[in-house]
Chains A and B, each alone.
Chain A
Amino acid sequence: MEKKKVPAKIFKQEVIVFLVVIALLIFFCVASQDFRKYTTILTIMDYSYYIVLMAIGVAFPLITGGVDLSIGTGLVCYSLAGGYLIMFKGWPTGLAMIVSILFGLAIGTLNGILIGVMDLPPFLGTLCTCMITRGLGSICSKNTGISWPTTGQPGSWFRSIFKYETAGGTKIPLGFIWVLLLAVIMHFVLNHTKIGRYTIAIGSNKEAAILSGINVKFYHIMAYTISGLFAALASIAYSAVFKTVLPGTGAGFELEAIGGAIIGGVSATGGAGSIIGTFIGVFVICLLKTGLPFIGLQANWQQIVTGLVLIGSVMVDIIKKRREAKK
């Protein structure tokens, strides 16, 4: 009996968010004729990849009870660094990608050390690296916009990882499969490996984790390293989907990712969360982002609506906690 109860609880949250996504889809389809097009799906997908990847990563710091604000500017920074090597140094795309990923791992680990070892408040520590990565990105790119190889150019193979074009010219959003696969893997990592279990333990009761003889510092760092890694993966998705990456941008991306994670059931105070939920939660944000313009609400409105949706989902979390406390 009990065995079924626990997963059912988590499952429920994911189902609710999934139903919200379906409801939004139906709503926009009914409200706007133009929305009902295959290209809309492609647009939603293009927007979703990098946010989903960031959200999967940032879920880990969030579950430790922290946050990672550096992923947005970090994403742009890693993309600029990799793109610069391709554009100006003639590096092959694959090698540049590895550099981007290593860059992300390094910044993530730096965040982890600042927070897990040096005890900086997560908000402050990652705000600092947010500024640092913004500056570093501009330096890497010498202040100009950077384009990774566009379709048709040599080294542009990575674009078809995300959007595959058949001989007949049909575009297939292949990226969805990879992103979903990564989400499933990280869902497993969170729920069935030591890294995940200790991430939850740190967020739920750090003192208990320390007294249980867990190397809390290491696992605390790992949570941020994962966040950095996924910000770097997101940077590759971003580079593949968009033509040009501009230095100085990226601030604000992290909020969409954090928002998606929280809508997907990651507790705003740490200790609990679901990666599959996060994955679905991001689509709520992406749908709003893509769909609202179709019913005549422009970007500014989209931000307001996203903010309101977030307040709603955090309230749900808080009310749930209160109920539990009452028990």
Chain B
Amino acid sequence: MGEVILEMKKIDKSFPGVHALNNVDFEVKRGEVHALMGENGAGKSTLMKVLTGIYTKDSGTIIYEGKEVEFNSTREAQDAGIVIVHQELNMVGHLTVAQNIFIGREFKKGIRIDDKKMNEEAKKLFDRLNIDIDPTMTMSDLTVGKQQMCEIAKAISHDAKVIVFDEPSAALTEAEIEDLFKIIKDLREQQMGIVYISHRMDEIKVITDRVTVMRDGCYVGTLITEESTKDDIVNMMVGRVIYEEPKTKSQVAADAPVVLKVEHLNAGRMVQDISFELHKGEILGFSGLMGAGRTETARAIFGADPKESGDIYVNGQLVTINSPEDAVRAGIGYLSEDRKRFGIVVQKTVAENTTMADLPNYMKGLFIDRKKERDVARKFVDSLATKTPSVDQMVINLSGGNQQKVVIAKWLCKNCDILIFDEPTRGIDVGAKNEIYKLMNKLASEGKSIIMISSEMTEILRMSDRIVVMCEGRKTGELTIEETTQEKIMNLATRDIN
């Protein structure tokens, strides 16, 4: 590690009603990977947005390369050499890789954009990073992982001295994460200062040199990664260590009836001949790599995507599911991995979201019975321990974990007995994750049956009674929790990949 390249001192920032950053200190040294951790809403992203000129700070100083600086736009920050690789990919799908990398600073020949030169420069950049991507490909044709690599290449091409990675691994496969780490290590060698934001504790241990923790908009402390344990970090983040104990034994009664039976389900390349059973009160984990076809399977069962063939039995009865409406009628609820797009209506209140799937039961003649709606919403807010000032709060103002609870309330309100959780804790912070886990266990013990799709190995191992593993659209194995090991799952998940 070299000298300090970037120092943020006593940064303060308020939004109407929220004190987002409260006297926060943060520094990065040359040749260091510095993790920035904290629960969602702790202020990590806000701090980085202040740094890169997206927000202006209320007070405090930023010292960069020995001089006090103040950036008024991402452009100014970029020009100074501070770039951010965003959590959500910021790529223009219709343009080519090279066009994306050099967007905003195209090479020109007169008024003409020199695409040939841009392709060559992009190629050079990829060679330097040991990435194999054709710069003339259209961006939307690349996998998420490759797009991420392009985003990194774009960041580096700015002559960056400080690079901020905002949850870069969230959408990557294991192999892609390894590539990412290789690149980050290279950048560290080149004496760049790297800020790494992530929720994944394992990664922090592998890749970072120091960890700074934030909580509720405040600076909590900085640790040297090598000298600290996971518990130290988690402790600082939440101020407490409570994790649901991992399951070692199935919690399902041996004679529990089969509530959902799927036989020879086919739906395109991603869902080929899938068969499985789900028992009452069971949490069935679906494991596999990104793109294994788990979400597609769930969507086909739920009727959100058309299926080609296959039978679905609910409580022993053959059911026809051609649309989500049919699925809900059969008692199946689906909690999408992308809550904001499919799960909730963020501009509506908690109460309105709760009754959305079951509105006919909350009508008084032609009108919605607001009182009945609020009452049921209040009931679920209490039973699920949703943190919201009132049921009239807009869902957009809730944290990720609490939004997820509103989605759960929606399906419980509709009396769904089979719940499909797709990445139930994605984008949810450590403390709230644990609450969701507890809630799922409680639901299962009350007789609800749960399919849980998860890319996080620890989550699969902690929650599942039984595990189905998929790979490239096929079911490659089924394990009981007693016999499961991480290695066995990985073997099955990668079986067909050469």
Stretch at the interface among B86-94, B278-286, B439-447, B479-487: B86-94
A211 x B91 contact (CB < 8 A): no
Q: Decide if B75 touches A205 in the complex (CB within 8 Å).
A: no
**Which residues of B, 55-111, contact A by the 8 Å Cβ criterion?**
73-75, 78, 86, 88, 90-96, 99, 103-106, 108, 111
CB pair A208 B91 closer than 8 Å: yes
Q: Kindly state the separation between the CA atoms of A211 and B53 in the bound complex, as whole angstroms.
A: 10
| A271 lies within 8 A of B93 (CB) | yes
Within 8 A of B (CB), among A247-273: 271-272
Check if B94 sits within 8 Å of A2, measured CB to CB. Answer: no
Give chain B residues whose Cβ lies under 8 Å from the Cβ of A272: 94
- A89 lies within 8 A of chain B by Cβ: no
Cα–Cα distance between A204 and B138 once the two chains are bound (Å): 12
B128 within 8 A of A: no
Bound-state CA distance A194–B105 (Å) is 9
Could you tell me the distance between the alpha carbons of A282 and B96 in the complex, rounded to whole angstroms? 28
Write the A219-241 contact mask toward B (1 if CB under 8 angstroms, else 0): 00000000000000000000000
Q: A193-B113, A326-B268 are in contact. Are A200 and B95 (CB under 8 A)?
A: yes
- The reply on A37 being an interface residue by CB < 8 A is no
Do A208 and B137 touch across chains, with their CB atoms under 8 A apart?
Answer: no
* B134 part of interface (Cβ distance < 8 Å): yes
B340 to chain A, nearest CB (A): 14
Measured CB to CB, the closest approach of chain A to B437, in angstroms, equals 33
A204 touches B96 (CB 8 A): no
In the complex, the answer to whether B136 meets A271 with C-beta atoms within 8 Å is: no
What is the distance, in angstroms, from B12's C-beta to the closest C-beta of chain A?
24
| B229 part of interface (Cβ distance < 8 Å) | no
B290 to A: closest C-beta gap in Å = 16
Q: How many chain A residues have a CB neighbour from B under 8 Å?
A: 26
Q: Decide: B96 and A213 in contact? CB cutoff 8 A.
A: no
Question: Is B140 at the interface (CB under 8 A from chain A)?
Answer: yes
> How distant is A45 from chain B, measured CB to nearest CB, in Å?
31
Could you tell me if A213 and B140 are in contact, using CB atoms closer than 8 angstroms? no
Tell me what chain B mostly uses at the interface: helix, strand, loop, or mixed.
Answer: loop
Q: Give residues of chain A (87-104) contacting chain B, Cβ–Cβ below 8 Å.
A: none
B136: which of A3, A193, A201, A204 is its contact (CB, 8 Å)?
Answer: A3
Q: Does A320 contact B (CB under 8 A)?
A: no
CA distance A192 to B78 in the complex (A): 24
Whether the Cβ atoms of B103 and A193 lie closer than 8 Å is no
Q: A193-B111, A211-B74 are contacts. A6–B94 as well, Cβ < 8 Å? A: no
Q: Is A209 an interface residue (CB 8 A)?
A: yes
8 A Cβ contacts from B255-298 to A: 268
- Measured CA separation A241–B108 after assembly (Å): 40
Which residues of B have CB within 8 Å of A166?
none
Is B341 an interface residue when CB atoms closer than 8 A count as contact?
no
Chain A hits for B112, CB < 8 A = 188, 192-193
Q: A193: nearest residue on chain B (CB-CB)?
A: B111
Measured CB to CB, the closest approach of chain B to A1, in angstroms, equals: 9
Give Cα A46–Cα B92 distance, bound, in whole angstroms: 39
A190–chain B nearest beta-carbon distance, Å = 11
Chain B: which residue is nearest A207 at the CB level?
B90
Q: Are A208 and B90 in contact (CB under 8 A)?
A: yes
Q: Is the CB of B90 within 8 A of A213?
A: no
Q: Which residues of B contact A192 (CB under 8 A)?
A: 112-113, 115
Q: Which residues of A contact B138 (CB under 8 A)?
A: 6
Total interface residues on B, CB under 8 Å, equals: 30
Name the contact of A324 in the complex, choosing from B92, B103, B134, B140 (C-beta under 8 A). B140
Q: Quick check: B103 and A212 within 8 Å, CB to CB?
A: yes
Q: Are B86 and A211 in contact (CB under 8 A)?
A: yes
**Given that A194-B113, A211-B86 are contacting pairs, would A204 and B93 also be in contact in the complex, using a CB cutoff of 8 Å?**
yes
Main secondary structure of the interface of A (DSSP, over half): helix
Q: Is A214 an interface residue (CB 8 A)?
A: yes
Render B100-142 as a binary contact track against A, CB cut-off 8 A, 1 for contact: 0001111010011101000000000000000000101110110
Q: Which of B78, B92, B140 contacts A208 (CB 8 A)?
A: B92
- Select B103's contact among A6, A214, A271, beta carbons within 8 Å: A214
A174 to B112, CA, bound (A): 29
Note all chain B residues with C-beta closer than 8 A to A193.
111-113
CB of A197 within 8 Å of the partner chain = yes
Residues of B within 8 A of A201 (CB): 92, 95, 103
Interface pair A213/B91, CB less than 8 Å apart:
no
Contact A214 B111, beta carbon cutoff 8 Å: no
Q: A209 with B103: in contact, given A193-B112, A201-B92 (CB under 8 Å)?
A: yes
Q: Tell me, in angstroms, the Cα distance from A194 to B112 when the chains sit together.
A: 8
- Judge whether A2 and B95 touch: CB under 8 Å: no
Rounded to whole angstroms, the CA-CA distance of A209 and B94 in the bound complex is: 12
Contacts of A326 in B (CB 8 A): 268
Complex Cα distance A194/B268, Å?
A: 40
CB distance from A13 to the nearest CB of B (A): 14
The docked-state distance in angstroms from the alpha carbon of A327 to that of B142 is 10
Chain B residue with the shortest CB-CB distance to A270: B94
The answer on a CB contact under 8 Å between A200 and B94 is: yes
A208 to B95 Cα, complex, angstroms: 12
Bound state CA distance, A209 and B90, in angstroms?
8
- Complex CA distance for A312 and B111, rounded to whole angstroms: 37
Q: Is B96 in contact with A6, judged by CB distance below 8 angstroms?
A: yes
Residue in B73, B74, B94 whose beta carbon sits within 8 Å of that of A204 in the complex: B94
- Shortest Cβ gap from B206 to chain A (Å): 28
CB-CB < 8 A to B103: which residues of A?
197, 201, 208-209, 212, 214
Contacts of B115 in A (CB 8 A): 192
**Contact at A205–B93, with CB atoms within 8 Å?**
yes
Q: Are A213 and B75 in contact (CB under 8 A)?
A: yes
B95 partner, pick from A188, A197, A211, A213, beta carbons under 8 A: A197
Interface set, chain A 2-34, CB cutoff 8 A to B: 2-3, 6
B-chain residues with CB within 8 Å of residue A214 when the two chains form the complex: 103-104
Q: Mark B32-46, 1 if CB is under 8 A from A, else 0.
A: 000000000000000
CB distance from A326 to the nearest CB of B (A): 7
Q: Smallest Cβ distance from A193 to chain B, in angstroms?
A: 6
A60 to chain B, nearest CB (A): 14
Q: Nearest chain B CB to A29's CB is how many angstroms away?
A: 38
Q: B137, A200: Cβ atoms under 8 Å?
A: no
Contact B106 A197 (CB under 8 A): yes
**Chain B minimum-CB-distance residue to A205:** B92
A90 CA to B104 CA, complexed, in Å: 48
Asked if residues A212 and B140 are in contact (CB atoms below 8 Å), the reply is no
A-B contact list, 29 entries, CB within 8 Å: A2-B134, A6-B138, A192-B113, A192-B115, A193-B111, A193-B113, A194-B108, A194-B113, A197-B95, A197-B99, A197-B106, A200-B94, A200-B95, A201-B92, A203-B94, A204-B94, A204-B95, A205-B91, A205-B92, A207-B88, A209-B103, A212-B90, A213-B78, A213-B105, A214-B103, A214-B104, A271-B92, A271-B94, A324-B140
B residues apposed to A, CB below 8 Å: 73-75, 78, 86, 88, 90-96, 99, 103-106, 108, 111-113, 115, 134, 136-138, 140-141, 268
Question: Which chain A residues have a beta carbon within 8 Å of chain B's beta carbons?
Answer: 2-3, 6, 188, 192-194, 197, 200-201, 203-205, 207-214, 271-272, 324, 326-327
- Given contacts A201-B103, A205-B93, A208-B92, list 19 more A-B pairs with CB under 8 A: A2-B134, A3-B136, A6-B138, A192-B115, A194-B113, A197-B95, A200-B94, A203-B94, A204-B92, A205-B90, A207-B88, A207-B90, A208-B90, A209-B103, A212-B90, A212-B104, A214-B104, A324-B140, A326-B268
Give the 5 A-B residue pairs with the shortest CB-CB distance, closest first. A213-B75, A208-B90, A204-B94, A212-B104, A271-B94
